[in-house]
Structure 1
């Protein structure tokens, strides 16, 4: 379990599922500007920022090329890390193909699996994007085996970026849940597979907080007397995020109407 010390007066922020670039770069630009405004608003007291995946609707790193655009968000992330604010990135199902750019250019460590943190030696967190976890999500589990296959990635890399990115964006946007065109609905605790996953993890080890994205639905569920599940929602419909002040974790909404 990784240890994280939160300085007095500082907070930890969590956000996920921006899907920048969907359905088009022009349409997602106001959301990108709004997210940058949020990052500006938390800069003064952020002790750490956790981004839990799908910042982009599609991201693939060629050896010398990354997808065009996203200048505002990439520049802001660089500014924050340059200012000494640690940022941690957890890949989602839309940005599985991160391979060094964030680490080298932005000084942001990237994780491909859930991680465990102990904050101030008192509060434990289990953190991940949430895709492919639990008893459901079977369709994605099958696709993920293809997406993460080195041979499949090698063949995709040989596509010209203009064709590769266009193809991936077409496939992504045609998934209505992923592109934000359909509302995710609460299924009930017994059918929320991330809730079931968290409950099973608790049988092995205690965690105070489970934090995930992926569902595009802001959720706070008490798992037992001392453990809580939080889903971060998204930055398409809800503009929600979580904040931990050293004692309490809360789910909040960014209400700045300006982009």
Structure 2
């Protein structure tokens, strides 16, 4: 993809809408919708890198209540012809085809390569990548197992949705309602993941969310790891103008 003159690509993640409650997350949702409304003027594409919702599960005929302002704005942007891409996070990993069918937004469950203006990108949410985090990786295998999802669908939404929301908010480290601290390059799993990928393939940029911590890390003098932060305490996002990728703050 060649970015037209004056256009930009935007990257955002970790809104966790609905946490710790619908009322408490409403001001954050309004800020996000306003931001979407502003960037649509010069957006060549928009990437949402997961955990847009603090919980999302698609029953056969039901999706979680709420978030109509966000969904409506995304529909408007997509209908205007601006590409929007969604990568599921660990909180909305039970997303199926609702975004694709209703909003015409492709949904990805794994990191994916893109090329913009001859720059190579690897983009994803970031959960479960790199060494360590064995407990979460095991839990993710259980949650993404088709049998687990089939069994969960037998819970009535009035029980299944609030139950999942309760446990999601209870796990503060995952929900991102507490500040995160930078662990150092040798202990950050995503940095280690990026460096291992560079052993076999060159990427100009790695862009992930999940950490709730805005980061811009030089990997080898030719590649950069960007973490987009969150819309809970940092209100940060990344912008690629066709030449450079930078973190920006609302």
TM-score, normalization: structure 1?
0.95
Greater shift in the superposed pair: 175-184 or 81-90: 175-184
Alpha-carbon offset, residue 81 of structure 1 = 0.3
Aligned equivalent of 2:231 = 235
Give 5+ residue unaligned stretches, structure 2: none
Aligned equivalent of 1:17 = 14
Aligned equivalent of 1:155 = 151
User: 8 Å contact 2:56–2:64 — kept in the other structure?
Assistant: yes
Are 1:195 and 2:172 an aligned pair?
no
Alpha-carbon offset, residue 163 of structure 1 = 0.5
Aligned equivalent of 1:257 = none
Determine which of 23, 26, 31 is the counterpart of 1:29: 26
Equivalent pairs, count: 250
Equivalent residues in 2 for 1:152-191 (5 A)? 152-191=148-187
Give 5+ residue unaligned stretches, structure 1: 255-259
Aligned with 1:178: secondary structure? helix
Distance in 1 (CA, whole Å) between partners of 2:189 and 2:175 is 21
Distance in 2 (CA, whole Å) between partners of 1:136 and 1:17 is 21
Are 1:214 and 2:210 an aligned pair?
yes
Alpha-carbon offset, residue 181 of structure 1 = 2.9
Determine which of 22, 46, 52 is the counterpart of 1:49: 46
Alpha-carbon offset, residue 204 of structure 1 = 0.6
User: 8 Å contact 1:131–1:137 — kept in the other structure?
Assistant: no
Provide the aligned C-alpha RMSD in A: 0.7
User: 8 Å contact 2:57–2:63 — kept in the other structure?
Assistant: yes
Alpha-carbon offset, residue 129 of structure 1 = 0.2
Are 1:108 and 2:105 an aligned pair?
yes
Distance in 2 (CA, whole Å) between partners of 1:108 and 1:72 is 16
Aligned with 1:224: secondary structure? coil
Distance in 2 (CA, whole Å) between partners of 1:243 and 1:181 is 25
User: 8 Å contact 2:177–2:232 — kept in the other structure?
Assistant: no
Aligned with 1:95: secondary structure? coil
Deviations 1:109-155 (A, max 9, x none): 000000001112x1000000000000022221011011001111111
Aligned with 1:177: secondary structure? helix
User: 8 Å contact 1:115–1:126 — kept in the other structure?
Assistant: yes
Aligned equivalent of 1:61 = 58
Aligned with 2:142: secondary structure? helix
User: 8 Å contact 1:15–1:52 — kept in the other structure?
Assistant: yes
Determine which of 5, 11, 16 is the counterpart of 1:8: 5
Alpha-carbon offset, residue 5 of structure 1 = 2.5
Deviations 1:146-173 (A, max 9, x none): 1001111111000000100011001100
Alpha-carbon offset, residue 180 of structure 1 = 3.1
